[in-house]
Amino acid sequence: MAHKQHPLHSGFPPSATADDVLEGINLSGKNAIVTGGASGIGFEVTRALAKAGACVLVGTRDPERAYLALAGLPRVTVDKLDLIDPVSIDSFAGRWLATTEPLHILVNNAGASGGPQRDARGFDTQFATNHLGHFQLTGALLPALVATSQARVVNVSSGAHRFGRIRWEDPNFTADFNSLAAYTQSKTANVLFAVGLDQRWGDGIRGYAVHPGVVVGTKLNSAAGDDALRRMGLIDDAGQPIIDPTAGKKTPAQGASTIVFAATSPLLRDIGGVYLTDNDIAPLNDDMQPLSSGTIPTDAASHSINPDDAQRLWALSEWLLRGG
């Protein structure tokens, strides 16, 4: 299978921060939406884009808490968005479209992990939040993205995609729920969605999937508990984060860097539908090395960038959102 997973040698090391990546880039006059942009990596993405001049709208389930977290940041606003509620998604998108403002950057960042939990439709909340909600949101915002002729959609995925497969006949794990398998499926879906989006809309809208690194202190990672984080080599005996960017263990500012790289880098002007890590396009590597405290596999896996599967997932997602 021909692929585009060839590193560009961007010059940014794994330790680069979002501010490092955006140095010299002027986003004045650009509009961005960041889901889950009031905490963790999302906050750093919001802060860095706004610092570079962009107007940023943060979609969040808890606007009041987000207002407090984002207070003082210039050009940042907040609106209600619940990614497991189709009505909330359409309402959020409708309010944006009513402004007639173009949308230059959409960062599909919000995520869920753990379970078993199901939304009102019976969908696994990890698949519904991480993929289906963002799939619906992106489609609903399509007129605003098209209006820019050079928009970028960034899906925040994970190196966990390497261990995930789409359960085509049972994506919601109704038969035998497995929390980890459901999570890795959703991260594979993030990558396939970026590939499919770029196939369909790549003339004017580029799609990217990003592994930000493992960032201790985010809601997703903290939910694992201290014992699990110690086993993974992510915190020390005192409970403090172990920061080692070359091993994929990053601060929130470092984790946000590849996201803003995907959203803004001129090096990506003519390429999309790729999976990125460490501020560059990730190489393709199907050697399924295990997770360990010293190694966090982050390269792209063939199954996550397969163009036929990307289109199959697109059709499945539309079917599910129609009530299938």
Residues designated as active site: 183
* Burial class of residue 73, CB neighbours in 10 A (0-12, 13-18, 19+): middle
Tell me the one-letter amino acid at 8: L
**R_g of the chain computed on alpha carbons:** 18
Is 34:104 a contact under the CB 8 Å cutoff? no
Strands 55-60 and 76-80 come out as parallel
Is 83:137 a contact under the CB 8 Å cutoff? yes
